Amino acid sequence: MFTMQHFGLGDINAGNTSLQQLYEIFKCTLNPDLTEDEFNSYLFGQHPESLEISYIYKDKELAGFCTGTAYPLTISKKRITVLRSAFGLREDYREGNFPLQGLFFKYIRRKLKAPFSPMYVAGFMANPLMYAMICRYSLNCYPRPGKKIPAAIFALKHELTRSLPPQSTGSHPFVMRIHFQVALLKSDISRIHQSKDPYVKYFTEINPHYQQQHGVLVLVPVSWLNILYTTARYLFRRLKKMASQQKSRKINKPCPVPQN
């Protein structure tokens, strides 16, 4: 079972954790060629209002990390908050479900601080499996198969990608060349190629070069409707898992030996 340890900017300033530790696990899980300048630019280039770091542990061993940053943005004279996240797991811990509940609870806490302010999670997805999980646990996210992209989402996408290189002709408007290539295991690539998941198929159709430093900009509204939907999906999965474990224990329970 995964456990998490959380830190904020105050902890970094107080010496309770260090950016160097985050940099090392970032490199190990996402991009071994990442420079410190690129790392610092990713975290602080947009002058975030807040930064939260969570280290993920499995049996007391550091297995990965997730970060959440928030920064303000003004579009058409309307102030919104953009939440960016990064997530990485060491190779030995990538089998099974990703422990994304840590990120989910970060977004809930942020929404509670400003319940009526527009908020969006923005992230470049280079892993079709991660994209599929986001789609399954979000009622609304963009782009998504069969869902029309509103003008407000296009405006936000334009604002977020102004500094990126121009897209190639004919590509999907949300597919971009990203700063670094996310490392994928051979087992992950095999799962992707064999997957019949409609979200995985959609991702590889719009971004066939996902293994060549291309990602999909995914925008998820942090709305109360989305939060309720995600919470219900998460609780349903937990209850289903508990019921399955209970059933397994009953099946494996030894039968009593009959007494003569």
Looking at per-residue confidence, does 130 or 255 come out higher? 130
pLDDT higher than threshold 70 for residue 255: no
Ramachandran quadrant class, 116 (left: phi over 0; alpha: psi -120 to 50; beta: rest): alpha
- Cis check for the bond before 143: say yes or no (omega within 30 of 0): yes
Rounded Cα distance, 153 and 165, in Å:
20
For tokens 């430093």, what's the residue? 213
pLDDT of residue 77: 84
pLDDT of residue 102: 62
pLDDT of residue 254: 62
147: which residues sit within 8 A by CB, 6+ positions away?
A: 140
pLDDT of residue 192: 92
**For residue range 25-65, what is the model confidence (pLDDT) as tens digits?**
888 888 788 888 888 888 887 788 888 888 888 888 888 88
Ramachandran quadrant class, 27 (left: phi over 0; alpha: psi -120 to 50; beta: rest): alpha
pLDDT of residue 142: 96
pLDDT of residue 164: 65
Looking at per-residue confidence, does 71 or 183 come out higher? 71
Averaged pLDDT, 226-235: 88
**For residue range 74-108, what is the model confidence (pLDDT) as tens digits?**
888 888 999 888 888 887 776 655 556 666 777 88
pLDDT of residue 256: 59
pLDDT higher than threshold 80 for residue 231: yes
**For residue range 19-29, what is the model confidence (pLDDT) as tens digits?**
888 889 888 88
**For residue range 148-201, what is the model confidence (pLDDT) as tens digits?**
999 999 999 998 887 666 565 567 899 988 876 777 778 888 999 999 999 999
- Burial class, 131, CB count within 10 angstroms (exposed 0-12 / middle 13-18 / buried 19+): buried
